Chain A
């Protein structure tokens, strides 16, 4: 063992949390034979549990590794994570309390299920559901990459620890459902707060304070490059990246599951004001990427192998090992690894809810209560095994590219989900057409970027507007849906298929 103390602390923490996952099934006890209990925690989580659950769900191990890595490698552009995680909350406040109400009234446990009720259109629901599952798979895989990075940094051998951790995760997700990540999230978030607060106090002290750290950052990385004449440059790229990412976040199945598990819409609205605490944390964490630059970890011989294998993602583990005592590095790594388990469990559960409610029961065979639950539990295992296979069999860079594409795809469900809680102006088939145009155009543009960049330089009236592809294509998607809705509503209105009424939303 290269780092014995750190490794022991790390293993103890992860082991403790895995046991906690099994015990969680008995917490806030409910009738565990029903999918609402397994897959939504019985809609029982109050303000604080929801705060931890959503915090653990949205700010993942991948985020904690990737954002500082982006700052480390590319500089200021990585800080888009801050405006991004500011903007998610007004959107959360505006859209999701309404969605919670209508879902509670009609017993929906997924976003697609709401669309099926709203438009009487199971194909629209299928499209949105499949988009969610497909976007979720690489997301889980990237949680594993985050975990792999810290396991590798400790010098633990091969893939075995990862496989053990995910096998246990799959087992307690099967038995405890959403209660497991909810309970673990509390431990994880406390550890993450502790880690970041200690890191931003202790490490700058070694490096001569924040002014000295920023002074060591090359000017080209410290700020965004000013755009050339006739172009929005990286300015529009930065702003559209923040806004588009914010619009996409709550459309992910795991985010939706976290929201719908709240005990009331009031819990959601309160959390829109409380969750930004995590965004401050993320901002400080992003700066750890700069601290890694200032500390010069990249040129230290003991980390050469790590950087060769993991690239910029190794910046945070290397800095923590270099600057903090072994036992504390163990806590920090434990926090990151647990930070992978929480969202991975929620993502698997969320995908399983969609598979059961929106694909299996609608297109394969309707299931009774017991069979529905069994199907969901088994599908959650399929998702986790799939993610492990993904990481073991396919180069990690593919997971990163697919996650990038996943963001482009999931945002295409925005018009259907977000607009439909306010208005029934749209026609279900028009929304489906808009979704298809959005998916195709986004994929095409990402392919033009060789699956590497998420910003595309659009030329508008002689002016260049580099823009996040997801945002540009969802605007096209919404325009198509709106334009097609006019003739479709006149010729073949589907309003009779709406099982909800206006009072369900307020």
Chain B
């Protein structure tokens, strides 16, 4: 069930109308660009959480 954490990854990366805008900017980057780079980090973090939880439950041979 912990794998349900993957669902938000699909939502945040595919919500195009939401992030197709220029403001707010960050370090000179329009929202469209910095938001999508942030989704990389969020995606990696969610996968890492799933990995940690499954690893704790399953042990070494998983």
**Interface residues, chain A, with chain B CB atoms under 8 Å away:** 76, 79, 82-83, 85-87, 89-90, 93-94, 97, 209-214, 222-224, 226, 235-236, 238-239, 242-243, 265-266, 269-270, 272-274, 276-277, 279-280, 283-284, 287
With a CB–CB cut-off of 8 A, which chain A residues contact B37?
A: 82, 280, 283-284
CB of A385 to closest CB in B, whole Å:
38
A224 & B33 in contact (Cβ 8 Å cutoff)? no
Give which listed residue, B10, B29, B32, B41, contacts A90 with CB less than 8 A. Answer: B10
- Chain A residue, CB-CB nearest to B30: A214
Decide: A273 near B44, CB < 8 A? Known: A235-B17, A265-B62. Answer: yes
- Chain B residue, CB-CB nearest to A209: B28
Q: How far is the CA of A468 from the CA of B40 in the complex (A)?
A: 22
B16 & A224 in contact (Cβ 8 Å cutoff)? yes
6 closest pairs, A vs B, by CB?
A211-B28, A210-B28, A83-B13, A276-B44, A273-B48, A90-B6
A79 & B9 in contact (Cβ 8 Å cutoff)? no
Interface residues of B, count at CB 8 A? 33
Decide: A243 near B14, CB < 8 A? Known: A86-B40, A266-B62. Answer: yes
A86 & B62 in contact (Cβ 8 Å cutoff)? no
A280 & B21 in contact (Cβ 8 Å cutoff)? no
A-B contact pairs, 30 of them (CB 8 A): A76-B32, A79-B33, A83-B13, A86-B9, A89-B9, A89-B47, A90-B6, A90-B10, A90-B43, A90-B47, A93-B50, A93-B51, A97-B62, A210-B27, A212-B28, A213-B28, A222-B30, A223-B20, A223-B30, A223-B32, A236-B16, A243-B14, A269-B51, A269-B54, A269-B62, A270-B51, A280-B40, A283-B33, A283-B37, A287-B33
With a CB–CB cut-off of 8 A, which chain B residues contact A212?
A: 28
With a CB–CB cut-off of 8 A, which chain B residues contact A90?
A: 6, 9-10, 43, 47
CB of B8 to closest CB in A, whole Å:
10
Q: How far is the CA of A93 from the CA of B20 in the complex (A)?
A: 28
A87 & B55 in contact (Cβ 8 Å cutoff)? no
Interface check B60, CB cutoff 8 A: yes
- Chain A residue, CB-CB nearest to B31: A223
With a CB–CB cut-off of 8 A, which chain A residues contact B51?
A: 93, 269-270, 272-273
CB of A250 to closest CB in B, whole Å:
15
16 more A-B contacts (CB under 8 A) besides A213-B28, A287-B33? A86-B9, A89-B44, A93-B47, A93-B51, A97-B62, A210-B27, A223-B22, A224-B16, A235-B20, A243-B10, A266-B60, A269-B62, A270-B51, A273-B51, A276-B43, A277-B44
With a CB–CB cut-off of 8 A, which chain B residues contact A222?
A: 22, 30, 32
Q: How far is the CA of A87 from the CA of B60 in the complex (A)?
A: 26
Q: How far is the CA of A277 from the CA of B41 in the complex (A)?
A: 8
CB of A204 to closest CB in B, whole Å:
8
Near A by CB (< 8 A), chain B positions 1-59 give 3, 6, 9-10, 13-14, 16-17, 20-22, 25, 27-30, 32-33, 36-37, 39-41, 43-44, 47-48, 50-51, 54-55
Q: How far is the CA of A235 from the CA of B41 in the complex (A)?
A: 23
Q: How far is the CA of A115 from the CA of B9 in the complex (A)?
A: 29
With a CB–CB cut-off of 8 A, which chain B residues contact A266?
A: 55, 60, 62
With a CB–CB cut-off of 8 A, which chain A residues contact B50?
A: 93
Q: How far is the CA of A276 from the CA of B10 in the complex (A)?
A: 15
- Chain A residue, CB-CB nearest to B26: A210
With a CB–CB cut-off of 8 A, which chain B residues contact A97?
A: 62
Decide: A94 near B39, CB < 8 A? Known: A242-B13, A266-B62. Answer: no
B32 & A79 in contact (Cβ 8 Å cutoff)? yes
B20 & A214 in contact (Cβ 8 Å cutoff)? no
Decide: A86 near B39, CB < 8 A? Known: A93-B47, A223-B22, A223-B30. Answer: yes
A87 & B28 in contact (Cβ 8 Å cutoff)? no
Q: How far is the CA of A226 from the CA of B21 in the complex (A)?
A: 10
